[in-house]
Structure 1
Amino acid sequence: MFKFNLQSERKRIGILGGTFDPPTISHIDIAKESLLQQVVDEVWVGFIYQNQTEDQLIFIFIQIVPCGLRTDKQTQTEPKHRLEMVKIAAQELIEQNKSLEGKLITNDIEVKNNRTIPTYPLMKRFEKEYPEFDFYFLMGYDLIKGLLSWDEGQSLVEEIKFIIAGQPNLEWKQFDDYFPKNYKLIKIYQNVRSTNYRKTIVDSYKQNNNTFAADLGLEAGLLSQNIINYIIQNNLYVQQN
């Protein structure tokens, strides 16, 4: 494994992107453990959503990144709801870890753009606009095998530094042929994968006579109770199916 310098005097910024529809405990755990394990000094967390002709990117931590139309992954929830859920997740993290006070700030910006900004040019843009910082892309282990298929995948795996999160008992050797050139592994304690959780919510709702189950029918520990409560109170996901 290539080990890049994590003791740099330059501020280290972890970039965690996603749709966060909704934000799971696993998403937050990657950000939290990157900070608590002192792999990075800050995490900028953002997601893309579509709002007619305007796209918005939400960031925990003050910084703002322009983004374009998301064509590879459809979002399901109105921007205002996903922003509110990100705020809830950030506040929960602060309450659980007072040492992170002042590092979790929600901010949003509307950016007009008619195209996606893929990970590689986005990270290069960060490097150009903030040359005083070192940037690392945070991701769950389950995305490793597909990295080369991302836009400019070869450049991505050769030039960008990664922090890859997985559970302590994960068998990492199965990913040996897929790791990028520069990476650091960190342990997290929640399940990274959250596939089909929106479908699970809808199926549970229908099976429960069109009412929400108290746990939304999801696996325990996937979403925080405050996020679950917000989904129920605002009748999210079930109206879209």
Structure 2
Amino acid sequence: MIQGSLFPVKIVREQAFSGTASLRLTGYALNGECYAIKTVEDNPLLPITEWFCYHLCSAVQIPTPGWVVAERPNKTLAFGSRVDQDTELLGRISTNPVFVRTVLNSLASSISRILSLDYFLPNIDRHINNILVRQLPDNHMIALAFDWSHAQNLPNFLNWPWESPNNSFHTVEYLKIQKKWDNQAAFQVNNAVASIPSSFIREWLTSAPIEWIPNQDLAWIDLVVQSWDQARAARVNQVP
């Protein structure tokens, strides 16, 4: 869900980030939280794409970090995904690759749900360093989706089905080889996504900062809505 209410979260200090190829900045906010910052300077469509995909996850109950509209020190608005201290990238939870694979296998059902959404969009860059894991007090773990820097979706939802090989394809294939791919969970997410009406898409996009909309032209939203109806009709019951 969106963390915060009517106003953007104010970022008081930014710092360069070099941990991944798709994240350039993190920022510390007045509310005491740290956020991964995605800006139009990174890619003109990146903030609105992240906004859209986090809304999709919320609609189909795929866990994500908290997310906000972030007001940067230069007064521009960016997308902010909260950096939580109780989460870690799946590929970095241990230096033991056997343990990493064990966790991946144990989270296969929830990761299958994430990858089903990735296939629908499509997003070609879901791998073990692009899945977050949260450790709960009872030693249970959950997988969280984040980062749609490589989603090829807005405004036309093109390049479907995804071209292989790609990172998302390899993750799916690993789960299938291990006999951990959860086809039922994947179909459940696919059908849930395909059932989201275009009115929801319009509401999500019109609630985003206008500066994230290309040329601040609301006709672009009409194009996304039209493309969404075409995509969901073509992609229902289609999983990797």
- Decide: shared fold, TM above 0.5: no
Question: TM-score, structure 2 length as denominator?
Answer: 0.28
Which structure: greater helix fraction?
2
TM-score (norm 1): 0.27
Normalized per residue, the structure richer in strand is 1
